[in-house]
Amino acid sequence: MIHEYRLPREVVEIYEGIKNMSIRGAGKIAKYAVIALMKAAEDFKGSETRDFLKYMEYAGSYIKSARPTAVSLPNAVTYVLTRLRKQNITSVDEGKQVVISLAQEFMKRADEALKVIGELGSRRIENGDVIMTHCHSTAAVSVITTAYKRGKINVVYVKETRPALQGLITAKTLAEEGLEVIMIPDSSVRYFMKKVDKVVVGADTVAANGAVVNKIGTSLVALAAKEARVRFYVATETFKFSPYTLLGELVPIEVRDPREVVDEEWLKENKNVKIFNPVFDVTPPEYVDAIITEKGVIPPQAALLLLIEDYGADLRETGLSAPITWEE
């Protein structure tokens, strides 16, 4: 039962950080999710293996409930817990070591994936290209900074990305790397697209049909790029591909607090105005030129094949508890 388990303070803090967006970005969320599992395992006080496994399942469910849209969160938890189930552990201490080892393995492979994505993505950038990006994506930043270090690009247009202004994080990161960063208002994307050669963005979720769920405003950037015949690339680790969409499930779009858009005083003064604050939108696959992953650069239509390769057999056998796999 839920009331039987008390999670450590570190796990609750990570949960709250993911929920309130002080921990943000799909890749960062995934890493913190497995760190939370590791902290939960280390804190377990019981001596029964069965109790430990139930406790870890509860911890996983709790962590996954923090944010509904970014599939990296449940996928990261699933990576650890599915492999834990398959280990046939014989003691609590052994179980703790397995969880710690799996969490560290996930983080290491995630870091390696970012390096490969940066390498592969930089090959799609040509000398002298001007880049535009949206929101904050570690994978997209990896592509842009790798291309910069190879002398291919100097100028990047970064959208402010309201209401949470994640673009400021990207602008600061790229400027510190040495790039010339031009911050632009979200509403000016069509105006500036004529100055751009390539668009590189990240993803929170990639669906089986190749549609990309990302920070609100991404689809408008893709639309403007399509109109201007500018290449639109999505850089993402494969743990952001959603196995749930293989079974026909829709990706839930998170709606957040109106106070992220306007302040409390304005809300009180304008009670007859309703504020709707969706965090993500969906970019159709036909607006995406390629998805850059650690497994290679694929057309969006190949997302289904990648998902079947990684999840197909396990989904048929065990429902939605399939593990993520990385190929050498």
The residue among 249 and 208 whose pLDDT is bigger is 208
**CA–CA dist 144, 188 (Å, integer):** 21
Residue 24: predicted pLDDT: 87
Looking at residue 64, what is its pLDDT? 96
Residue whose entry in the numeric block shows the structure tokens 């309201």: 162
122 and 102 in a common domain:
no
Residue 312 has pLDDT above 90, yes or no: no
Two tokens, residue 75: 């996928």
In the chain, the percentage of residues whose pLDDT exceeds 70 is 93
Q: Which residue has the higher pLDDT, 321 or 159?
A: 159
Q: For the residues 6-35, what does the mean pLDDT come to?
A: 94
Final residue of a domain: which of 115, 145, 165?
A: 115
CATH number for position 123: 3.40.50.10470
Q: Is the pLDDT of residue 150 over 50?
A: yes
One domain for residues 147 and 269: yes
Look at residue 327 and tell me if it is in a domain. no
Helix locations, 179-302, DSSP H: 189-193, 218-228, 264-269
290 shares a domain with 145: yes
Is 323 inside a domain boundary? Answer: no
Lowest model confidence (mean pLDDT) among 18-22, 66-70, 80-84, 289-293: 66-70
Residue holding tokens 């990240």? 202
Decide if 111 is catalytic. Answer: no
Instruction: Please enumerate in sequence order all residues whose Cβ is within 8 A of that of 120, keeping only pairs 6 or more positions apart, or say none.
Output: 292, 293, 294, 296, 297
Same domain? 40 vs 108:
yes
Per-residue pLDDT at 200 exceeds 90: yes
Q: Which one of 115, 149, 182 terminates a domain? A: 115
Q: Are residues 253 and 232 in the same domain?
A: yes
Q: Which has the minimum average pLDDT: 75-79, 258-262, 322-326?
A: 322-326
Are residues 143 and 92 located together in one domain of the fold?
no
Catalytic residue, from 51, 93, 111, 135: name it: 135
SS3 211: coil
**Domain co-membership, 111 together with 135:** no
Instruction: Show the domain range for 11.
Output: 2-115
Binning pLDDT at 50, 70 and 90, where does residue 321 land?
A: very low
What's the domain count of the chain? 2
- Tell me if 201 sits within 8 A of 214, measured CB to CB: yes
pLDDT surpasses 50 at 157 = yes
Is pLDDT of 324 > 60?
no
107 and 193 fall within a common domain: no
81 and 129 in a single domain? The answer is no
- 228 occurs within a structural domain: yes
CATH number of the domain bearing residue 46:
1.20.120.420
Q: pLDDT class for 269, splitting at 50, 70, 90?
A: very high
| 204 has catalytic annotation | yes
Verify that 129 and 202 share a domain, yes or no.
yes
Q: Which residue has the tokens 């395992």?
A: 41
Q: Is the pLDDT of residue 322 over 90?
A: no
**Domain stops at, among 87, 115, 143:** 115
Catalytic residue among 129, 204, 289, 310: 204
For the stretch 56-109, pLDDT in tens is: 999 999 999 999 888 999 999 999 999 999 999 999 999 999 999 999 999 999
Query: Residue 240 above 60 pLDDT?
Result: yes
